């Protein structure tokens, strides 16, 4: 405790230098915590998004499979269309537990300047997503009704409730709102659902669909099922497990680059800490000589200087963790604007183990960085130190 009190007094005498050094450590720790928190949050949110899609295989028209899957995940338009006959060809496969065709269409509203997304679905959509619950209202009365079901956020944006009518810009049709889903935290919250046949006729896409979601009875049948689908002309088979793996692999590559930047920041911070403590040692050469002349051992001097380095890194670690916690929301907003696809849910998840690991790591860095300056101070000879300090 005596060593830490002496270390605090020494650091307090050089306030500006100490603040700058602590700030460097804090920035390095904040960057590291934010990167690790983003990695945890992104992977968790991506898995949740894909699992909540309700299907294991996505069948789309020929094209880039991962672009198609990303658009489906993100809830965007611009997909290629295929004939509904594809659905009729594969629906009889005994390995299929549930199959749900859908049609995605987007409409730009010039009045509000926003893009509305409409998805034509069948009753299989609800069976693939049994967790979907109604906030109010219920399902369509029939498969060709001019009715709409709104996602929770779409209902709030349009300010519609069950019984209201909703106008689709550009196509001149009005639909009766028969239901509003509860909030799910996924892209479904911003969607307006229509019966599949109604959506096809409304958007001039009779007999066409944009995708088919499939869930099998046995997950072990998935490889062979995908292999069999490759013989169907004009379609592209996308395994959602592969999509998840591909996106995570891409994120891993980006994480390696970002982690390298964080490692460089940490190395620079460590060098800054060592430089600060060495300068402090050189400035206190005479003081150290007097301490040793009065009976202080090499270990006593080593402890005092080592305590200074540890305190700088520990305080910097605490501040860095606080910065990461406070700035997590800002970082998440920036990330969502930069990434081409950002899953729903929290992208930056700071956990208690991560905070503890960061603090322990910062303290350990202080231990390591303080060895050389402390050893240098402890090796000084009393008489030579006093003379050189005169």
Q: What is the DSSP letter of 188?
A: G
pLDDT in tens, 280-314: 666 666 666 666 667 667 777 777 777 777 788 88
Domain regions of the chain by residue span: 2-49+247-388, 63-233
CA proximity to 279, closest of 43, 86, 35, 18: 18
Sequence-ordered list of residues with C-beta below 8 angstroms from that of 14, at least 6 positions apart, any chain: 280
Higher model confidence: residue 51 or residue 239?
Answer: 239
367 in Cβ contact with 311 (< 8 Å): no
The pLDDT mean for the chain works out to 78
Integer Cα distance of 277 and 21 in angstroms = 10
Residue 74 clears pLDDT 60, i.e. is over it: no
DSSP readout, 189-226?
Answer: GGEEEEEHHHHHHHTT-TTEESEEEEEES-GGGHHHHH
The whole-number pLDDT of residue 198 equals: 93
* DSSP class per residue in 62-106: SS-HHHHHHHHHHT------EETHHHHHHTT-TTEEEEEEEEEEE
Mean pLDDT value across residues 64-84: 60
Count of beta carbons in the 10 Å neighbourhood of residue 140: 22
Q: For residue 164, what pLDDT is reported?
A: 94
| Highest mean pLDDT: which range of 67-81, 222-236, 338-352, 369-383 | 222-236
Answer yes or no: is pLDDT of 76 > 50.
no
Round to whole Å and give the CA distance between 29 and 22.
11
Q: What's the DSSP call for residue 187?
A: G
| Most confident residue range from 25-29, 53-57, 261-265, 292-296 | 25-29
Residue 199's pLDDT band (cuts 50, 70, 90): very high
Q: What is the pLDDT of residues 266-278, one digit of tens each?
A: 777 778 777 777 7
Strand partners, 118: 105, 192
User: H-type helices in the chain, by residue range?
Assistant: 2-13, 15-51, 65-74, 85-90, 124-128, 152-158, 196-202, 222-229, 240-283, 285-293, 298-338, 352-369, 371-378, 382-388
DSSP letter assigned to residue 123? T
DSSP label at residue 273: H
Model confidence, pTM: 0.58
- Over pLDDT 70: what percentage of the chain? 75
Distance from C-alpha of 317 to C-alpha of 300, rounded to nearest angstrom: 25
Does residue 13 surpass a pLDDT of 50?
Answer: yes
Q: Is the pLDDT of residue 389 over 50?
A: no
Report the chain's C-alpha Rg in angstroms: 31
Percent over 90 (pLDDT), the chain: 14
Read off φ and ψ for residue 14, nearest 5 degrees: -115, 70
More confident residue, 78 or 161: 161
Residue 378 has pLDDT above 80, yes or no: no
Could you tell me the pLDDT band of residue 390, with boundaries at 50, 70 and 90?
very low
CA distances 103 to 58, 138, 229, 337, 371, Å, are 13, 21, 20, 27, 65
Decide: 136 and 180 in contact? Cβ < 8 Å.
yes
- Ranges 7-21, 301-315, 338-352, 373-387, most confident: 301-315
More confident of the two residues 161 and 233: 161
What confidence category does residue 342 fall into, taking pLDDT thresholds of 50, 70 and 90? low
At residue 246, does pLDDT exceed 70? no
Most confident of 184-188, 198-202, 248-252: 198-202
pLDDT, tens only, 137-195: 999 999 999 999 999 999 998 889 999 999 888 787 899 999 999 988 777 888 999 99
Higher pLDDT, 158 or 334: 158
Q: What per-residue confidence (pLDDT) applies to 193?
A: 95
Which residues share a beta bridge with 149? 179, 193
């Amino acid at each position: 405790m005596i060593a830490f009190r002496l270390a605090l007094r020494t650091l307090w005498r050089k306030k500006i230098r100490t603040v700058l050094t602590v700030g460097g450590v804090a920035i390095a720790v904040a960057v590291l915590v934010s990167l690790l928190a983003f990695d945890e949050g992104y992977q968790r949110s991506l898995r949740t998004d894909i699992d909540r899609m309700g299907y294991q295989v996505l069948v789309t028209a020929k094209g880039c499979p991962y672009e198609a899957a990303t658009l489906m995940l993100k809830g965007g338009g611009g997909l290629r269309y295929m004939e509904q006959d594809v659905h009729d060809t594969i629906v009889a496969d005994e390995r299929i537990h549930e199959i749900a065709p859908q049609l995605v269409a987007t409409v730009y509203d010039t009045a509000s300047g926003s893009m509305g997304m409409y998805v034509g679905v069948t009753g299989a959509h609800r069976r693939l997503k049994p967790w979907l619950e109604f906030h109010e209202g219920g399902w369509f009365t029939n498969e060709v009704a001019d009715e709409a079901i709104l996602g929770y956020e779409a209902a709030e944006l349009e300010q519609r409730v069950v019984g209201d009518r909703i106008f689709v810009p550009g196509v001149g049709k009005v639909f009766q709102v028969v239901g509003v889903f509860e909030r799910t935290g996924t892209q479904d919250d911003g969607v307006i659902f229509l019966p599949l046949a109604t959506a096809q006729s409304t958007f001039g896409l009779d007999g066409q669909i944009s995708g088919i979601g499939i869930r099998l009875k046995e997950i072990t049948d998935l490889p062979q099922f995908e292999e069999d689908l490759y013989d169907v002309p004009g379609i592209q088979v996308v395994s959602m497990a592969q999509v998840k793996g591909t996106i995570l692999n891409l994120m891993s590559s980006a994480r390696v680059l970002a982690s390298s930047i964080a490692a460089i920041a940490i190395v620079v911070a460590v060098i800054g800490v060592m430089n600060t403590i060495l300068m402090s040692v050189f400035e206190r050469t005479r003081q150290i000589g007097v301490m040793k002349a009065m009976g202080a051992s090499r270990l006593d001097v080593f402890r005092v200087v080592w305590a200074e380095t540890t305190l700088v890194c520990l305080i910097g670690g605490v501040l860095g963790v606080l910065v990461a916690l406070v700035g997590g929301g800002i970082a998440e907003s920036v990330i969502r604007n930069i990434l081409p696809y950002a899953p729903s849910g929290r992208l930056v998840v700071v956990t208690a183990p991560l905070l503890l690991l960061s603090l322990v790591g910062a303290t350990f860095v202080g231990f390591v960085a303080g060895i050389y300056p402390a050893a240098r101070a402890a090796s000084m000879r009393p008489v030579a130190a006093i003379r050189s300090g005169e």
